[in-house]
């Protein structure tokens, strides 16, 4: 039997994008991909509840001692677990840590990130707030390859979201998240087909 295209999702929060990917898998819309596991760096995060709901391992891994990056022994713990799940693709979905060289080299060319703007516009934190403050008419979301430079890897696919005159951070975030929930599973499905060729 052919080995599945294994996906490991890393996140730090409620896991709405991880849930969208798992729901797409359940509905048969994830191509050859299957989620092999979820890793989270926050012990009480809601995304860990997705494991039992979808029958997927969901594990908290201690990221100590650093608050904003993954390095040293913690980085090795993450690498070991992802390798144990035989990941073909590592998906960052709200994972709030900067990845360092050892991690990037361990999964070179196999890490993607979902960002809530039309990169290269508004990289980094609070991209939705940045877009509103800049008074642009259109923003959106981007799936891109992960490199050492934050939010600067090759863009794989984007979805535009119109900004209405009365939009707040909350209302715009809701529209961007809805677009993300469609975009990320579609890109994973596409990559899984490419990975089989």
Q: Which residue numbers are catalytic?
A: 115
The three-class DSSP label of residue 156 is strand
Q: From the CB of residue 64, how many other CB atoms can be counted at a distance below 10 Å?
A: 10
Instruction: Kindly state the greatest CA–CA separation across the chain.
Output: 54
List, in order, residues 6 or more apart from 105 with CB less than 8 Å away: none
Strand ranges inside 103-149, DSSP E: 111-115, 138-145
Cα(52)–Cα(50) distance, integer angstroms: 6
Q: Two tokens at 109?
A: 């060319």
């Amino acid at each position: 039997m052919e080995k599945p295209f294994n996906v490991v999702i890393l996140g730090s929060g409620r896991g709405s994008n991880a849930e969208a990917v798992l729901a797409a898998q359940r509905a048969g819309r994830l191509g050859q991909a299957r989620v092999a596991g979820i890793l989270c760096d926050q012990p009480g995060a809601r995304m860990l509840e997705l494991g039992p709901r979808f029958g997927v391992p969901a594990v908290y891994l201690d990221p100590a001692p650093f608050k904003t990056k993954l390095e040293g022994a913690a980085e090795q713990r993450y690498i070991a677990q992802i390798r144990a799940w035989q990941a073909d693709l590592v998906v960052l979905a709200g994972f709030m840590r900067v990845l360092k060289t050892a991690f990037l080299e361990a999964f070179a060319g196999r890490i993607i990130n979902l960002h809530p703007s039309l990169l290269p516009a508004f990289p980094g934190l609070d991209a939705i707030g940045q877009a509103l403050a800049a008074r642009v008419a259109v923003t959106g979301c981007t799936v891109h390859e992960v490199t050492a430079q934050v939010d600067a890897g090759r863009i794989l696919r984007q979805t535009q979201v119109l900004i209405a005159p009365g939009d707040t951070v909350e209302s715009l975030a809701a529209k961007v998240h809805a677009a993300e929930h469609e975009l990320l599973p579609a890109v994973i499905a596409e990559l899984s087909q490419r990975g089989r060729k």
